[in-house]
Chains A and B, each alone.
Chain A
Amino acid sequence: MRMLAVARGVAWRTLHNVFTNPSLFIPSIVFPLFFFTAFAGGLSRVEDVPGFNYAEGYTAFQFVFVLLQSAAFGGVFTGFGIARDFESGFARRLLLAAPNRSGIVLGYAVAALLRWCVTAVILTAIALAVGMHVGGSGVDLVGLYSLAVIVNVAALLWAAGVAMRLRTMQAGPIMQMPVFLVLFFAPVYVPLSLLQGWIHGVAVVNPLTRVLEAARGFLAGSPTEVAAAFGAALALAVAFSVWAFRGLRKAEAAG
């Protein structure tokens, strides 16, 4: 109960900060829409490349990537907030006041998830408005958004671990860059089968490739590699939860 009370307080404060501060809220909405526009609009001709066989078209193909990207960066942006809380001294006071400190991590995770939900709703509405084809059933779409939720949680836990260890806003690039690389070393523009050379080798071992391919399968109504995708996403979430809670212990030890 104590943990839930702490989590609720931290989540409410984080969400209040985000939604009342346009400089925090607007980028998390605008950037995914911008990438969706730039990729789906500018590169739509890529669906004419021989071997490109995604049935729902290039808009849907890119929508899935941008949805997962927004989920990941929703977590990372919340991590920036954690670092800011440490830098301003608020997090230290929070550590003193919270009867259950695990609730702090849980609260930030809930805030990251709710913050991303707003982005996901807007992104989905705009994608549908511009004529995105959806081949999947309701169950498939639950699978798609469930994968995105796990990615959001995993990214938040990664960023929280970094923020709690370094406790400065200067840790921003350390939170952001690995996530950016993992995202863009997956099959972003074309399916895995059309990637060639070194990037194909990297994409094959990149856990996010399984997630991305399965998510695209869900949207098209032909799920593929579902167990591998959920396994990879959950493994990342579990590994980063250990990372985040150890980070919390380090922050506690630092005083």
Chain B
Amino acid sequence: MNTLADQVFLLARRSVVRTIRQPANVVAPLVFPMMLLAVNSGGLKAETRLPGFPTNSFVAFALAVPFIQGALFATMNAGTDLARDIQTGFLSRLSLTPMRGIALLAGQLGGVVALGIVQAAVYLAVGLLVGVRLASGPLGVLVLFAFALLVTLGFGALGAFAALRTGSGEAVQSLFPAFFVFLFLSSMNIPRNLIETTWFRDVATVNPVSYLLECVRSLIITGWDAEALALGFGIATAVAVVSLGLASWALRVRMART
């Protein structure tokens, strides 16, 4: 057990150090979501005047988006780094050592989750700085971090699965636009009950990203909404379980090939 823990620690540290040494991988997940937040919260502030809009602060409404967008970056980081390990032969060399496959996956995802927690802290700090106050209070902050961890783990595992299946960094990068489609066709910019176009409302309703956003949003602007939390955590857990299962399977297949 100690050996496994050591292996996980070493690979997680490698994952974190490698990420830190590539400033683009650290800066992009921090800056781009904040930029989108600035643009949307400025441009769509007038939306708060619509009857039924849940808050008079669009920043508070939109602050949920960076948490999910940041998780998309986690997918890219985890997937691209693992694909590079495959392309450079690191994974093949690793398979000749006593290193256990599960340690590789856990270590890789440990680094991604660590970055995800840093991202969440930055997003929350920026929100607090511009005057957003969490309706759920200090306990809500803990729940928010737990949710960010779970979402980052789930999406990171998805990126790892893509990398292990394709072995190509470019293939992993090509997932990014697809994830962006899910983000934009959700309740990202307007509550679902205020979406006027029927087909768009239907798409947003079946889109799981809407519920991930609404979970974070409930902690920020509503307080404690059991339904939103249950749906958000339920979907995030399902994504994490399925993704980790797929990534573990893909790793076994990849190790057998090499």
Contacts and interface: CB of A to CB of B under 8 A. Distances in A.
Given A46-B47, A190-B46, A199-B43, A41 B199 contact: yes
Interface in B1-49: 35, 38-40, 42-47, 49
Contacts of B204: 42
B185 interface: yes
A164 interface: no
Nearest to A130: B197
Interface residues of B, number: 26
Given A34-B181, A43-B189, A49-B50, A189 B200 contact: no
A27 B200 CA distance: 22
A239 interface: no
A156 to B, nearest CB: 23
A187 B45 CA distance: 12
Nearest to A170: B24
B196 A194 contact: no
Contacts of A181: 35
A45 B181 contact: no
Contacts of A197: 42, 45
B49 A45 contact: no
A190 B46 CA distance: 8
Interface string A129-163: 00000000000000000000000000000000000
Contacts of A49: 46-47, 49-50
Nearest to B40: A189
Given A38-B184, A185-B39, A45 B195 contact: yes
Contacts of A100: none
B201 to A, nearest CB: 9
Contacts of B44: 43, 46, 189-190
Given A27-B177, A42-B197, A45-B195, A196 B45 contact: yes
A44 B50 CA distance: 12
A137 B104 CA distance: 64
A188 B43 contact: yes
A46 B50 CA distance: 8
A48 to B, nearest CB: 6
B43 A44 contact: no
A195 B200 contact: no
B42 A46 contact: no
Nearest to B35: A181
B129 to A, nearest CB: 14
Contact of B50 (A38, A45, A187, A199): A45
A245 interface: no
B47 A42 contact: no
B117 interface: no
A3 to B, nearest CB: 37
Contact of A195 (B35, B43, B50, B177): B43
A44 B196 contact: yes
B47 A195 contact: no
Contacts of A43: 44, 47, 189-190
Interface string B190-230: 10001111011000100000000000000000000000000
B195 A42 contact: yes
B197 A41 contact: yes
Interface string A171-206: 000000000010011011110001111110010000
Given A42-B200, A189-B43, 15 more contacts: A31-B177, A34-B181, A38-B185, A41-B200, A42-B184, A42-B195, A42-B197, A43-B44, A44-B197, A46-B50, A184-B39, A189-B47, A196-B45, A197-B42, A199-B45
